[in-house]
Amino acid sequence: MSPTYFFLFLFGGFLHAQVFVSDLVSAADTGEPLPYVNIGIPNEGIGTVSNEAGYYTLELPEHLQQKTLRFSMVGFSEKEIFISPSEDKHALVYDITLDPETTELNEVVVTNSSWEKVSVGNKTDSKRIVTGFTSNQLGNEIAQFIRVKKNRPTKLEAFWVTLAENKIENAVLRLNIYSEKEGFPDANLLKTPIYIELPNDYQTLTLDLKPYAIYVEDDFFVSLEWIEDYGIENLWFSAGLFGKSLYARNASQGEWVRKKALSIGMGVELLQKHR
């Protein structure tokens, strides 16, 4: 039996008179190019990600050409610029530098006697019901809500996702961890970017998160982000019609939406402190 494919299309409006915004994003302290920076107009579904060399190009419809453009990346301070008209109505150049953030890691002592291991997520491993990213726009994300016991320090031990099909060689996605606000993903909780390389066979892939020392004390979201243009029809995840809802946003800096009818086979292994 052939698999049932679910496409979660999220539409954004475009008008005919468009302008291209482009240039380089680099670190303010070193001048080094910054790969995979999230770039977009907040909550408009118009966004992209800088390439491996730090360059970006974003196509804007006419009605969004005098808006705020946001640049953000884990480990750096967010920057916003106002898109101003220029003599060349078809091309705008913004060379962007981001300042590194200084963060302090929280030290938590983990002992076997005071912590319990739990697994949270959707355990589906179906090859007949599958889903994928909602679009081929860079910065497109799909996320899973993770509920934890309140006011108990929790350490993320591992992330897992079930691949139903992957025809892309050397495919790399970005893993993000977000706090929860009013039922949707909010601030990114990571201190350093996490990338995950996908195999080309059907399996449940597990990524060890212990080296990243990620601690939370409240509900959160875990997401996978599309950062290279591979063609979304070549990558599918196991899915189900029941379980935790899937959340998605169409592009970098876009608005999150909840897809109640579908769940994705992914989740996390946690260590949670006893009272």
**N-term to C-term CA, the chain:** 49
- The pLDDT value given to residue 147: 93
- The pLDDT value given to residue 1: 47
CA distances in angstroms from 79 to 92, 99, 252, listed in the order given: 17, 9, 14
- The pLDDT value given to residue 3: 59
Intervals of the chain under pLDDT 50: 1, 6-16
Amino acid present at 169 = E
- The pLDDT value given to residue 107: 56
Locate 177 and state its tokens: 């961890």
Indicate the domain borders of the chain: 18-98, 115-273
CB proximity list for 29: less than 8 A, separation 6 or greater: 99, 100
* C-beta separation of 69 from 21 below 8 A: yes
Same fold, 18-98 and 115-273: no
Q: Cβ–Cβ contacts within 10 Å for residue 140, how many?
A: 26
User: Helix or strand or coil: residue 131?
Assistant: strand
The top-level CATH class assigned to 115-273 is mainly beta
- The pLDDT value given to residue 261: 76
- The pLDDT value given to residue 88: 57
* Phi, psi torsion values for 60, nearest 5 degrees: -115, 135
What helix, strand, coil percent values describe the chain, rounded to 5?
Answer: 5, 50, 50
State whether CATH 2.60.40.1120 applies to domain 18-98: yes
- The pLDDT value given to residue 104: 63
Render pLDDT for 109-164 as a digit per residue (tens, 0 to 9).
565 558 889 999 998 889 999 999 988 899 999 999 999 988 788 999 999 999 99
**pTM score, whole prediction:** 0.88
What is the rounded distance in angstroms from the CA atom of residue 147 to the CA atom of residue 125?
21
CB proximity list for 235: less than 8 A, separation 6 or greater: 132, 133, 163, 165, 166, 167, 168, 171, 198
Amino acid present at 27 = A
What is the rounded distance in angstroms from the CA atom of residue 200 to the CA atom of residue 184?
31
- The pLDDT value given to residue 13: 42
Q: Cβ–Cβ contacts within 10 Å for residue 84, how many?
A: 9
